[in-house]
Amino acid sequence: MAYVLVTGGTGFIGSHTAVALAEAGFKPVLLDNLSNSEKSVVESIEKVAGIQVPFFEGDCRDGVIYEKIYAEYPFDAVIHFAAYKAVGESVQLPFKYYDNNINSTVILLDAMMKLGIDKLVFSSSCTVYGKPEKPFVTEQSPLNKPESPYGYTKLVCEQMIEQVIDLKQNMRAVLLRYFNPIGAHESLLLGENPIGVPNNLVPFITQTAIGKRDKLSVFGNDYNTPDGTCVRDYIHVCDVAEAHVSALAYLNQKNDSGVHKFNIGTGRGYSVLEIVKTFEEISGDALNWEFAPRRFGDIDAIYASTELANTELNWQSKRTMKDAIEHAWNWELKHKS
């Protein structure tokens, strides 16, 4: 099997995908600037995968690094995760997101063209749908105006990839629009461990329960949902990782250039309060939480139609939301020191 470059490879989804790639017989090569992860993750990946995994510390906006990696490990495909991904933070720091998320993709695409790499799996997001007319979205749902700079960067990158492939016609790409990855690897060697204050719900819940955070803030209780809190499609990170392996296999079978888009979710939405209550049931403890004002950029509800991914990629989510929360909590307990 060929080498696959994984940008953002020591991040939450990148690290789990590296393991899934290795288990499927691919040879992952990791690139990360460690802005939101630690180098020790490489060792954890190797323990789970049972192989040595090459790692390069560097920034995706440095075009030279791709040539350096290719000289040692001639990869024939790229899975591009490297991006800042917090909706709330992007509202406060939009230029940080424009610079990192968009520029890194520009430079990556340029490097791929120069090196003759013709397969790309792009880490996109359901935020490209903006505020949907209906919460249940398919790949044909309108791409409305993004509600946050983060969503805007993902939409721009999708459009840029499409245009480059239309013009050059010697590349093929899969855009995976995933929803809300949560959980941890069943081995408990890999999990979500953001540097600083978490921007995602589940790690904030587990860190609050373990005592790292004083209190969980639930942003908004007046959304147009059954209990007033936001509804999202929460999917186990290992299911998301396996979707990338399926996407790569799909590209390997394609002889034509083009862009293919797939939703990666479970097809069901859960409210923030449902997630909190499920965690309390699993942990057996009451969580210290309170309502807080809405965050700009959040929408009422969104969850995925996954029929296209089920049929075209031969992929479907296997694990439940409860599985994901239990794995995330057990991972937090194991690493509480």
Residue 222: alpha-carbon gap to chain centroid: 28
Three-class DSSP category at 7: strand
Q: Is 102 in contact with 157 (CB distance < 8 Å)?
A: yes
Residues 82 and 153 sit within 8 Å (Cβ to Cβ): no
Angle between helices 63-72 and 103-115 (to 10 degrees): 40
For the chain, strand residue ranges (E) read 3-7, 27-32, 55-57, 77-80, 119-125, 136-137, 172-178, 180-182, 216-219, 231-232, 234-236, 258-264, 270-271, 289-292, 303-304
- Give CA–CA dist 129/139, Å, rounded: 9
Confirm whether 150 is a catalytic residue. yes
Among 3, 66, 84, 150, the one annotated catalytic:
150
Q: What is the DSSP string of 237-273?
A: HHHHHHHHHHHHHHHHH--S-EEEEEEES-S--EEHH
Euclidean distance between CA atoms 188 and 69, whole angstroms = 30
Cα 245–Cα 249–Cα 251 angle in degrees, nearest 5: 115
| Closest C-alpha to 176, from 118, 241, 238 | 241
Coil, helix or strand at residue 126: helix
First to last CA, the chain: 39
74 sits in which H/E element: none
Put the strands of the sheet holding 3-7 in their side by side order.
55-57, 27-32, 3-7, 77-80, 119-125, 172-178, 258-264
Active site residues per annotation: 150
